[in-house]
Structures are given as structure tokens and as C-alpha cells.
Amino acid sequence: MSAGARVEDAIRAANASGRPALVAYLTAGFPAPARFADDLRTLARAADVVEIGVPFSDPMADGVTIQRASRAALEQGTTPTSILDALEAMDPRPAAPLVLMSYLNPLLALGVGTLAQRAVRAGIDAVIVPDLPLDEAAPLAEPLARRGVGLVQLATPVTPPERLARLCAASRGFVYAVTVTGTTGGRAAIAPGTLAYLERVRAAARVPVCAGFGIRSAQQMQALAGHVDGVIVGSAIVECLERGEDPAALLEELRAGTEDRR
């Protein structure tokens, strides 16, 4: 099986039933480490893929919501090791394939070899590293690929065509198409030009394309459906968990925005 294949399959399966896949993000250890496994199981039932965020002290690509969640999770002692331990101990296992999202430095501290080994045991099928551009990715991508774990590349609206082609070719699991110039958690409507950009990414990619950053409404979902293979919802879920609400209800509402398209 090629690296990241389970994630790719889960996205394609959602597409086969006529809708974009839902990729749900949570910051591990937020609101509380003790809730992590339960929250993860809930999200894994409601979404097609779950992205688990490793909190970092300096999340430079993140807006205020994930900054706040990361800080709270760190203050409660969350580490890459504690996350992997929790994942390995989960019984029953989450119902959806898992993607680990982490800034580079915590992964370096863990050790790339250790990460590759433990990711497999923890059921992680792909890894996203927001501060590791394609040009620097090989020392992480290769050991991960040897264990069947994919490294997801990010595309952005300002990525030049030649570079887009290279990063789409290198991406495993899916291509993460950042929809906005900005950090996570904004609340913009889908801008004019976004759909054309997403189509460009799709034309360049052989793996599925998932759109993310600032997606939180059924309207946005509706605008994107048909133009992407999946949608990543992050800050909106984190805020939902923060308020003590049920993230499954939010995901249900978002999914309803796309279901008429069948």
C-alpha cells in the first residue's frame, strides 16, 4: 500500500457517495488531555478523516483559536509522546484514518525514526508539517514513506504553477489546499478566484485535494462542493469543544450543506 493510502481511500469513499470528505481537526490535549480519546472517537465517527494537532509553543501559521488551544494543551503537559501513547492505548480504535499535524521542532525532538515507528503503531496514516516546505521535506518524507506514512504537502493561492506541480506530485494522502492568504481560523467567505485556484490544484494533483483554513459554515461548504475532494475544519471544531458543545452536530450541519449536491 502506498504511503497515506488509507486517508486517500477514505476521501475517495466519501466522494463516491457524492460529497466532499470531511476532515476534522482537533488540538490534542485541548480542552483537557483526559478528554482526548473520547473527543477523537466522536470526531472519527462524524468525519471521514481526523487530523490531530500537536501543540507547539510558537504556532506561526495559526490564528488565535489554535494558539489558545495549543497553549492550554501544553500547560496541561501534552507532548508528542503523550499523544502517541494515548493513541496506542485506544480501544476501540478511532473509526477514521488519522493524520498528525505538527510543527517541525517537536518532531525533531522526538526523532524522525521514532516518529515513523510509533506513527504506524498509533494508527497514523499521514503527517502534515506546516513549517516544512517541499524543498526541505526529504529527511522526513523518506523515513515516513518507508513505513507507509504519507507526508501531506500544502498548496497556497500564491504558489507558482511549476512549484504547484512539484508539490502536488510529492504529496501523499491528499494535497492540503490553503484557501486564504492568512493563518488558520479566519472567517472569510470563499473569495472570488478561490474556486479557480482549487481547480488548478486539482488538475495538478493525482491524490485528492482538501481545502482548509477558515472553513466554518454550510455556505462555504456549498460553495466548495464539486470543486474539492475534501474540506478541513479546524478552528470551528476547536471553538465548539471549547464551548463544551458537541462537534458532531457542527460536522452534521456542515455536511448537510453539501448533501443536496448528490
Partner 1 sequence: MTAHPFDRPGDAGTLLADLLAGRLPDARGRFGPFGGRFVPEILVPALERLERGAREALADAEFVAQLGREARDWIGRPTPLTPARRLGEAWGAEVWLKREDLAHTGAHKINNALGQALLARRLGARRIVAETGAGQHGVASAAAAARVGLPCTVYMGAVDVQRQAPNVDRMRRLGAEVVPVRSADATLRAAIDEALRAWVADPEHTFYLLGSAVGPHPYPWLVREFQRVIGREARAQVLEAAGALPDAVVACVGGGSNAIGLFWDFIADEDVELVGIEAGGSGAPGASHAASIACGTPGVLHGAQSLLLQDEHGQVVETESISAGLDYPGVGPEHALLARLGRARYETATDGEALEAFAECCRLEGIIPALETAHAFAGARRLATTRPGARIVIGCSGRGDKDLPSLAARREAP
| Binding positions for partner 1, rule: CB under 8 A | 56-61, 63-64, 67, 71, 74, 79-81, 104-110, 112, 130-136, 139-140, 143, 153-156, 158-160, 163, 167, 178, 181-183
Choose between 130 and 230: whose C-beta lies nearer to partner 1.
130
Contact 55, 69 (CB under 8 A): yes
Residue 92 or 161: the one with the smaller Cβ distance to partner 1 is: 161
136 is catalytic: no
The residue from 39, 48, 51, 239 that is catalytic is 51
What's the min distance (Å) between Cβ of 238 and partner 1?
A: 16
Q: Let me know if 162 is a catalytic residue.
A: no
Nearest distance in Å: CB 169, partner 1? 15
Determine which one of 8, 48, 62, 229 is catalytic.
62
Question: Bridge partners of 211?
Answer: 177, 231
Nearer to partner 1, 15 or 79 (CB): 79
The C-alpha cell at 40 is: 477523537
Of 198, 194, 195, 235, nearest to 217 by C-alpha is 235
In whole angstroms, the minimum distance from the beta carbon of 112 to partner 1 comes to 5
103, 56 in Cβ contact below 8 A? yes
As measured in angstroms, the least distance from the Cβ of 106 to partner 1 is 4
Q: Is the Cβ of residue 43 or residue 174 nearer to partner 1 in the bound state?
A: 174
**Would you please indicate which residues are annotated as catalytic (active-site) residues?**
51, 62
